[in-house]
Amino acid sequence: MAVNTVLARERRRARVRKKVSGTVERPRVSIFRSLKYIYAQLIDDAAGNTLAAASSIEKEFSGQTGGKGNKNAAHEVGKLLAGRAAGKGIKKAVFDRSGYRYHGCVKEVAEGAREGGLEF
């Protein structure tokens, strides 16, 4: 990735983070997308705690989809995160796309989480 691309994403991320923050009742779903994997976390910004996390790099996740960085994997990560959130009694959240476009893998994480029972 070019340096300008990374800086532009960081600027978009900072702009969104000024407005979006998570609480205990409605934690923030933060996404990180690398070229190989996708990661998602539920974060309580008031306390600075990660309440739940899921990623396509986990052992229980391996072998389920064709790859670990594609849209099918992203959908499964969203469902896994929603399941872990439900285990902690979390039903509502705020979605933070972290400066990425709401398209492709980022969209699939959101749809998978909604399918798993998490409300945005």
- pLDDT, averaged per 10 consecutive residues of the chain (120 residues), comes to 84 88 89 93 93 91 71 93 96 93 96 96
Structural tokens at position 98? 């972290």
Unique residue bearing structure tokens 């933070």: 96
pLDDT at 2: 73
Residue 120 is assigned to a structural domain of this protein: no
Q: Does a structural domain hold residue 14?
A: yes
What residues contact 85, with CB distance under 8 A and at least 6 apart? 27, 42, 51, 52, 91, 93, 113, 116, 117, 118
- DSSP assignment letter at 92: B
The dihedral sign for the CA sequence 67, 33, 50, 80: negative
Q: What is the model's pLDDT at position 65?
A: 59
Whether residue 79 is contained in a domain is answered as: yes
pLDDT of residue 3: 76
Task: Specify the number of domains making up the chain.
Answer: 1
In a domain, 7, yes or no: yes
In a domain, 15, yes or no: yes
For 107, the domain range is 3-115
Contacts of 78 (CB under 8 A, 6+ apart): 40, 54, 108, 109, 110, 111, 112, 113, 114, 115, 116
> For position 17, what pLDDT does the model report?
86
Q: In the prediction, which pLDDT does 81 show?
A: 97
